[in-house]
Structure 1
Amino acid sequence: MLTTRTTLFAALSMAAALTLTSCAGGSPAATPSAASETSTFNTADVIFAQMMIPHHEQAVEMSDDLLAKDGIDQDVVDLAADIKTAQQPEIDRMQGWLTEWDAEEDSMAGMDHGSDGMMSAEDMTMLQDASGTDASRLFLQQMTLHHEGAVAMAQLEIDDGENADAVKMATGIVTTQTAEIAVMADLLETL
């Protein structure tokens, strides 16, 4: 009986060792690649990228409009430069995800000017036409609404997204843009 038990244990150990060895050997079917893990996504991830790209593009445009003006408060200029610097690389990453996911960029699908923080054409013209302190104030007011919309969209991704990189970006957007909203509120009080 001891011999049968020892033989059975040895056979099970051998089978387990062979199984682990074949998995560790890196056969494509047995070991998922890092690319397949990072390319896991769902509809929420696609919608997040599709909606956040034009949202970020508009923030970059608003920042460019402000940065092209003279007589703007330096703290507001610095904030606009920071927004532009942060959001352009995120646009590039999201466009890459959509390509990887074989999804259309669908630039304005589902965008609801106002509730998602997007500025209307009239809002953008007002910012382009403003100057000095009025431009600084208008930029801060519009960008606050814009950021609030981005935070809401990012929170949906955090709640419903599956792609770890997209959820990580969304978490960063919530953190960064919530902090910037507080900075903008403080700046508005000084103008």
Structure 2
Amino acid sequence: MKKLPAVLTALVLAATLAGCSTGGGTPSAGDASASPAGAGAAPAEVNDVDTHFIAMMTPHHEQAVEMSEIILAVDGVTAPTRDLAQRILDGQAEEIETMLGWADAWAMGDLMEMHSVHVANGMLTSDQMGSLERLADTSTGDATAVAEAETTFLELMHAHHEGAIAMTEGEIQGGGHAGLRDLAQVMVDVQTAEMAEIDALLGR
């Protein structure tokens, strides 16, 4: 499986090099000055699909990070699940940083705030998050409870990934910003592989 940080680094570098070689290419995240409209404005190629995707996918990723933090705090979780959770945490935290860089450069503050309270595809309800937290909190020293918490995490993360992939397909097909479309494809590739990994861990 690809190491996500390296892929993201390559994407940002590619976008930066493209801007240098053409004199007006796609700016990297945070490079608002490369936009013809100036600082605080989105480049001309950015469309509503792009901005909606960032506004909805950012909180979706934030929840995946929170889920991973919950299970990583449980003593006794098996090494494969712990490794998966750490990779999800690290990879999606970096993707959040990248998306927030674009959101800041494109002056998306109001849109981000508006969508922060929405529940995107596959996101856990408050009851589901509460259930995972309770299982994690009560599992210390109890192998059966640890196993239940681990299974619950894997099942919920699988559904969470399914929702993310469904959201991401819209960006790949209709987004205007090449760098964001590339990042969306990375999300699909990585999370599809992680879902297969989860299936194997669950014995499906």
1:3 matched residue in structure 2: none
1:70 matched residue in structure 2: 75
Distance 1:93 1:117 in 2: 21
Unaligned 5+ runs, structure 2: 1-22, 28-33, 37-41, 140-145
Distance 1:155 1:110 in 2: 22
Secondary structure of 2:203 counterpart: helix
Tell me the amino acid that sits aligned with residue 171 of structure 1: Q
Q: Is the 8 A contact 1:48 1:154 kept in 2?
A: yes
Unaligned 5+ runs, structure 1: 1-30
Which of 100, 107, 122 is the matching residue for 1:102?
107
CA RMSD of aligned residues (A): 2.2
TM-score of the aligned structures, taking structure 2 as reference length? 0.72
Matched pairs, number: 159
Secondary structure of 1:149 counterpart: helix
1:36 matched residue in structure 2: 35
Query: Sequence identity of aligned pairs in percent?
Result: 39
Secondary structure of 1:106 counterpart: helix
Tell me the amino acid that sits aligned with residue 32 of structure 1: G
Determine whether 1:173 maps to 2:187.
yes
Distance 2:182 2:118 in 1: 22
Q: CA deviation at 1:102?
A: 1.3
Secondary structure of 2:96 counterpart: helix
Rg larger for: 1
Deviations 1:67-122 (CA, angstroms, capped at 9, x unpaired): 01111111000000000000111111111111111112226458446xx0100111
Distance 1:108 1:68 in 2: 29
Q: 1:78 to 1:107 in 2, by over 3 A?
A: farther
TM-score of the aligned structures, taking structure 1 as reference length? 0.77
